[in-house]
């Protein structure tokens, strides 16, 4: 689990700093802290909701925050706040969230990516939910140290 989290952070920062090599102004505009939070945001929202809280009904760690609707809404909110206040923080969160979807290869799960256009239900994953899922994460976190 830790490797997945660090993977999302590393890839997101690598992409942005790679682009910033060609567009140096990005280094002064984008706050890496919000970029990191944005790159983890879909998992921070969906894993507890889908795999723990609603484990019997949804049993999936890729639900609402792994959709284009979520990232697009976050992006539009960020554009609005940037236009009104000049604040780029929410826009940076949205960029991180969109990069997270790309890193998770969400195009392979179009029903989730384009939710609700392809249906209202999310795919149910009966493996490792609820308490089992939390125990597995706990055990894995000590094994990787």
Mean pLDDT of 132-137: 65
The mean per-residue pLDDT over the stretch 112-122 comes to 84
Top mean-pLDDT range of 30-34, 38-42, 70-74 = 70-74
Domain extent, residue 18, equals: 2-143
The answer to whether 90 and 31 have CB atoms below 8 angstroms apart is no
Instruction: Report which of residues 102 and 23 the model is more confident about.
Output: 102
Tell me what pLDDT residue 57 has: 72
User: What are the tokens at 7?
Assistant: 């993977």
Kindly report the pTM of this predicted structure.
0.73
Whether the predicted pLDDT of 15 surpasses 90: no
Q: Could you tell me the two tokens for 8?
A: 């999302």
Mean of the per-residue pLDDT values of the chain: 79
Name which residue leads in pLDDT, 70 or 143.
Answer: 70
Indicate whether 91 pLDDT > 70: yes
pLDDT at position 1 is 46
What was the pLDDT predicted at 2? 45
Q: What is the 3-state secondary structure (H, E, C) of 68-133?
A: HHHHHHHHHHHHHHHHHHCCCHHHHHHHHHHHHHHHCCHHHCHHHHCCCCCCCCCCCCCCCCHHHH
And the tokens for 14? 């690598």
Count of the separate structural domains present in the chain: 1
């Amino acid at each position: 689990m830790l490797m997945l989290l660090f993977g999302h952070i590393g890839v997101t920062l690598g992409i942005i700093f790679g682009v910033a090599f060609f567009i140096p102004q990005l280094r002064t505009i984008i706050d890496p802290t919000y970029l990191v939070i944005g790159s983890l945001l879909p998992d921070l929202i969906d894993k507890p909701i889908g795999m723990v809280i609603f484990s019997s009904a949804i049993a999936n760690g890729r639900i609402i925050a792994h959709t284009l609707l979520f990232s697009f809404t976050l992006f539009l909110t960020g554009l609005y706040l940037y236009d009104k206040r000049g604040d780029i923080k929410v826009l940076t969160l949205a960029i991180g969230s969109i990069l997270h979807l790309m890193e998770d290869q969400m195009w392979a799960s179009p029903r989730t990516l384009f939710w609700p256009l392809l249906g209202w239900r999310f795919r149910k994953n009966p493996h490792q939910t609820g308490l089992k899922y939390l125990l597995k994460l706990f055990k894995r976190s000590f094994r990787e140290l």
